[in-house]
Amino acid sequence: MLLFPNAKINLGLNVLRKRSDGYHDIESLFLPVPSLCDVLELVRSDTFGMHVYNASIEGENLCSRAWKLMHDRFGIPPVEIHLYKNIPMGAGLGGGSADAAFTIAGLDALFGLRIPKEELAALAAQLGSDCAFFIFNRPMMARGRGEMLTPVDFSLEGRDLRIYPQPVFVSTREAYSGITPHEPLHRIQDIVKLPFSEWKGLLVNDFEETVFARHPSLAEAKEALYEGGAIYAAMTGSGSALFAIY
């Protein structure tokens, strides 16, 4: 079975508060990016195997954990997993989460389990905060840790979305280390109803302030996107990739 886990971007990202469990409550509009994908192959096998190409991933990755979760829950047999990485890591594009979610959905299809999407999403959420999004893979408002999802009607039809990976790795821990949670003045779901030309200054990613302070080249690259004609530009997720809408 051949699958193509796609990237996502965050249209706005507000860090609202720190929770008692150590996580943070966030608010963001998750948008799938079908033009940027990894390649994932699931093959029935007598023994489990995990093979990663075009990237170096230390330790147990999310695809392996996804198979183990499905194996422990539903007793599925071993598979060989082949993963070719195109989505940059440490870029805020959700590549690892997409790989995990597509593994769960792929195993469901491969072995004919017919698990409802809501249950697949709940399983995916056990692996990472934004993994559940990729089960549905449509525009959604994300809250909580990113696992509380509400479908929204939103489209970039007629606009040109471009992704700009940067030669900087930003870990989630680094991004959160300097963050100050707060309630935003404007809600994301209201801002995205405005014309794109009005988003600048209103639709913000709270991580930009701290990440740009540590990596000034990212701030310079974002400004260059505006100078190049973007009507909106921002960092996605906890960074470091930038995107622009033309």
The catalytic site residues sit at: 8, 130
Q: What is the spatial order of strands in the sheet that 140-144 belongs to?
A: 6-18, 24-37, 140-144, 148-151
On whether the CB atoms of residues 178 and 227 are closer than 8 A, the answer is no
Copy the structure tokens of residue 175: 């991004």
Separation in Å, CA 43 to CA 48, 69, 83, 120, 136? 10, 17, 12, 20, 23
Q: Which helix (H) or strand (E) holds 237?
A: none
Q: Which residues contact 93 (CB under 8 A, 6 or more apart)?
A: 7, 8, 9, 33, 36, 87, 163, 165, 236, 237, 241
Whole-number Å distance between alpha carbons of 115 and 32: 22
Q: Return the number of other C-beta atoms located less than 10 Å from residue 130's C-beta.
A: 26
